[in-house]
Structure 1
Amino acid sequence: MPRSRIRRTGLAATAAALLAFTGLSLPAQADETPPPVPQNLIQDPPVTKAEAPPVGVQEWAGPGGAADPGEFTLGPGVMNATTTSRVKRLDAVLPKQGVQNLLAAANRTITPWCSRDPFNTAPDPDLKYCLQDDDSTSHEWIPQAMTGVSDAKDNELYGSAGNIQLFASYDNNDPGRDNNQDKYGDCTEAEAKKRDSCNQKGIRITFVQSRTNPATGSPEVKYRHVLLGWTYINSANHVSFDGVHSAEGDPDADPNKFMQNGVHAGGMVWYGHFLYVADTRNGIRVFDMEKIMDLDPDGDGKAGDTMGKDGADDKTTTANVEDKSKVGRHNNVWYSYGYRYVMPQVAAWKFRAAQKNPTAKAHKYKCATTGRPKASYLSLDRSTVPDRLLLGEYCRPAGSTTYPSTGRIASYPIAALEGRTNDVKAEGWANYLPLATGGAQGAVAHDGTLYVNESKGTDEPSNLWRYKWVGGELSTEGRAAIKTATGAEDLYYERGAGRLWSASEHWEGAVNAKLAEEGKSEECLTGPTSAHICQRVLYAHKLSWVNSQP
């Protein structure tokens, strides 16, 4: 028989979400013993599924053609009011730190222009940032989305802080997705305490800043990870939080069907003090830069810092950032998988259109041409009036006649997303991408040009495409793709510096059977494959250079 496995410690969150809709209540029990939760329960209401339309009825206009913007309509999440009240309670218990204080406490170092080279035969970028070894080679955390202070503020300063980039990573080690008895994610209690990667953490956001070291006067680039959280009320009627997850399986638990495996965080936009994060099958989750909780305010990395009291009782709480095996409140102690900072979700936006995407795993990268889109990536266009948030799909048609979509993209007036009371519609246009084989990992628009990163696998450079809208369609206008990093991801435009940023997601050891089998997440193999190992970087091309290419 298989060993007894445990799920992530925050599963009480999903139970609380379900019970909130049914009107039931949890039985009294110890905080550290959350009730078992069926696999298909999720933090937010499930999407509405529908069978894919039969062949021939999709309104498919072909690559670059017009799509229906009405199907991108977003509605405010039904739990927004409940989430607001929970975050307010959490805010009263845990101390907060602003972005500038968080940056001042950045504890990790980036090395510009290290020897890691995911570009191979592709042209070198204008700037290359190399993460610390454990982040660069992590099997657990896979970088995806990018944004920065140039999106957040017109003057590119948040308070007095500038030169800030953010990237998002998802927990690749089975992040609250299933209970499949595999080596990663679903662990025994002993394994969870011994191996940090067992714990299913969801998503983290990383703040990066180029600055001058106040002690030495020398330039440096520092960064800090922040765990994203989802609030709930636990079995003792205390406010608590979990990692951000989505485990939307098929209700009949058919292993060959799925709706969504985790929250991929394939795109995000920082605008004002809100952070908008893509939730592929649902829409957008919203976080607040003014609600960054600090579980280690004295910064010593030790347990025991005093936290506040929840209004439900008069018990003083403390925090423990040394124990990486727990998250949320347990027996009046706050845990965060060892992260000092936690930023809770404050709202959600949900697609209104019917779900027509396939459920079979064999088609998981294919997209229906109509109905609810996928929120695969997000970006901001500040060159238009008003500022617009772009949302697009990652699709791999692979010659399919049933699902030929190359991926749709549309935009919204982003200021409308701050209201959270009325539907927000796409702003007048929507298109299928001109990519014949799909594979768009990120897209950003500036001055009427759409820039798209197309990934090409783990062993060749990606493509950076440039498109124009001509007669309502997207066209390459004869321009060739620019080769860029292997595993290129989301795109972000830094206006003042004129740089087009992205991240490479691959470290070749992640697909090396020996490394994966041994669970080595902090080292690189040597030997014939070493040239393709340890390649994960953040990088930027000058937009002027991109536009000058044939």
Structure 2
Amino acid sequence: MTQRGRHRRRRRGRALRGFLAGTALALTAAATMISASQATVSDAPGALKQVEVTTALRMTEDLVPQTSLDRLSAGMGRPVGVSAVLEAGDRLLRDSADCTAAERGQLPVAPEPVTSYCWDAADTLGWRPGALTTSGDADDDGVWGTNRVILSGWSRAGAAADGGFARVAFVDANDPDRLTYSWVLLAVPVSDGADFRALRSGLTGMVWYQDKLLVTADDGDGAALYVFDMNRIQRASVDGDAVGRVAGGWSAHRARFVLPAVGTYRLGAGSPRPDTISLDRSTVPDSLVAGESTRHGGSARLWRYALSSLPDRGGLLAADMYGRVAATEAYRTEVEGLRGVLSRDDAWYVSQAPGADHAHGTLWRQDTEGTSAAECDGSDQHACWSEAPQSLSYWAATGEVWSQSGRTLFAMPLASVDRAAKKQWSDDDGS
């Protein structure tokens, strides 16, 4: 029986032992103050507009044959679980007190995070930070087995011969005073499971649901999402720069573990790509929400897919007998530069990249009646979010929203986002 099987849907009803409690992070004046010229938002978006769900949002599921996955496992050795990766953690995240002033300046100004950490500069040099998900997504009690886990995605461009890499830091978050992690390379089986290649994609969206990890894909082969099975993590046996089968064993570009894909979801030509995704447990069944990334000057679509409730399809999307996955809801938002999306009940939270004259981005709270955002310094200024907004993840067991910005990892209560937001625009006032 898998770790997930032993643990399925067991509600513990306990807090994370002070994991996210404590006083708010004290930011330096340089990090907490934004000038009026930087922070004024004159082009605030209006309310969400519900739009028709079309076949353009329909995806097709394509699972890797079981024989190929078994062949890869036979060659690499017996797969290991998440706990084995956590136990091998040999790197350490820095606590907020040890972050530099520049790193703290990457954090949101309002509302302030209650906890934050910084990645090692040398360990992440040349890698681009991306999406984040947690064991709060994986199971509704917030833990996987007995572990509290954070997954942080990173990617880097490669030479023409290899095309790039994507890796995930598996963070052991059991002790909030000491977060350790180990790298896992994301890979794609090739040659019917006789080998694997690196996933060549920026990790702009990522959701860990039950025993599956879903990530956004842009590596050019038509996939919209890649699917990974957390019960199929493999150990790399050779410490080298290569990826795949090499003389003497298997190499994962210096990572100690490999996670091979078990499937993809594909969209038709011309369909909007899900550049950011997150999990919504407030729907029945649970659902995956998606948004397309836009540059400043264009609107974006937000939409939703139901997750399967069938026992033999744990962690997968709800598909028909032909493998087709239809969207269940869709909206259009006028938020420009969209980077992250989160949905809970009737509210959607959308992170926006900084504008040309802004030092920080904005986190908008939207619904079909209006839009709101936190104000900075008690004035009508709303560029209060992080400097480099990424995807958003909600840890339901603690009520916290987690995200990344540059080399910082941070969290705050979603309730504080709601309190800080003041509704100012609605369809009724002509916006």
Q: Deviations over 1:110-139 (max 9, x none)?
A: 112123213478243111111112145x2x
User: Structure 1: where are the runs of 5+ without partners?
Assistant: 1-61, 176-184, 188-198, 213-217, 246-262, 296-318, 356-371, 399-404, 506-535
Pair 1:240–1:499, CA change in 2 (3 A): same
Partner of 1:203: 166
CA separation in 1, counterparts of 2:131 and 2:106? Answer: 19
Tell me what 1:241 maps to.
196
When the two structures are aligned, how many residues end up with a matched partner?
351
The alignment status of 1:154 with 2:49, answered yes or no, reads: no
Kindly indicate whether the alpha-carbon contact (under 8 Å) linking 2:132 and 2:150 is maintained by their aligned counterparts in 1. yes
Kept in 2, the 8 Å contact 1:457–1:486? The answer is no
Mapping 1:305-316, distance limit 5 Å? none
Pick the aligned partner of 1:333 from 249, 265, 288. 249
Q: Which is worse superposed, 275-284 or 221-230?
A: 275-284
The residue correspondences of 1:289-308 to structure 2 (distance < 5 A) are 289-295=230-236
CA displacement at 1:186 relative to structure 2: 4.4
**Partners of 2:76 and 2:250 within 8 A in 1:** no
Which of the numbers 350, 359, 363 marks the counterpart of 2:266?
A: 350
Query: What do the CA deviations read for 1:97-117 (whole angstroms, capped 9, x no partner)?
Result: 210111111111011212321
Cα distance per residue 1:521-544 (max 9 Å; x no partner): xxxxxxxxxxxxxxx201112212
Larger % of strand: which? Answer: 2
Partner of 1:25: none
Structure 2 partner of 1:67: 51
Secondary structure of the structure 1 residue equivalent to 2:282: coil
* Aligned pairs for 1:132-171 within 5 A: 132-135=120-123, 138=125, 140-162=126-148, 164-171=149-156
Instruction: Map residues 256-267 of structure 1 onto 2, 5 A cutoff.
Output: 263-267=201-205
For 1:410, give the aligned amino acid: W
Structure 2: gaps (5+ residues) = 1-45, 310-315, 376-381, 423-431
- Aligned counterpart, 1:433: 333
Looking at structure 1, the residues matched to 67 and 119 of structure 2 have their Cα atoms a distance apart, in angstroms, of 37
- Residue deviations 1:74-99 (CA, integer Å, cap 9, x gap): 1113xx344x3322111122232210
Does 2:13 align with 1:112?
no
1:63 and 1:406 in contact (8 A); partners too: no
Name the CA shift for 1:484/1:135 in 2 (closer, same or farther; >3 Å).
farther
The 1:129–1:289 alpha-carbon spacing in structure 2 relative to 1, beyond 3 Å, is same
Aligned to 2:418, the other structure's residue is in SS state helix
Distance 2:123 2:250 in 1: 25
Deviation per CA, 1:161-193, whole angstroms, max 9, x where unpaired? 12x11111111x3x3xxxxxxxxx348xxxxxx
TM-score by length of 1: 0.60
**What is residue 408 of structure 2 aligned with on the other side?**
537
Displacement of 1:206: 1.2
Rounded Cα–Cα distance in structure 2 between residues aligned with 1:118 and 1:540 = 15
Match of 1:97 in 2: 80
Match of 2:207 among 269, 294, 313: 269
How many Å separate the matches in 1 of 2:355 and 2:170?
A: 27
Q: What is the deviation of 1:456? A: 0.8
AA matched with 1:287? F
Question: How far apart, in 2, do the equivalents of 1:340 and 1:444 lie?
Answer: 32
TM-score normalised over the length of structure 2: 0.75
Aligned equivalents of 1:487 and 1:411: distance in 2?
Answer: 25
Task: Select between 103-112 and 119-128 the one with higher mean Cα deviation.
Answer: 119-128
The equivalent of 2:40 in structure 1 is: none
Going from structure 1 to structure 2, the CA distance change for 1:222 and 1:331 (only over 3 Å counts) comes to closer
| Equivalent pair of 2:304/2:327 in contact (CA under 8 Å) | yes
Is it true that 1:232 corresponds to 2:190 in the alignment?
A: yes
RMSD after superposition: 2.5
Hey, what's the Cα distance between the residues in 1 that align with 2:308 and 2:401? Answer: 23
Residues 406 and 433 in structure 1, CA contact (< 8 A), matched pair in contact too: yes
1:275-310 deviation per Cα after TM superposition (whole angstroms, max 9, x unaligned):
011124631110110000012xxxxxxxxxxxxxxx
Tell me the distance in 1 between the aligned counterparts of 2:334 and 2:350.
10
Tell me the residue number matched to 2:14: none
CA drift of 1:422 comes to 2.1
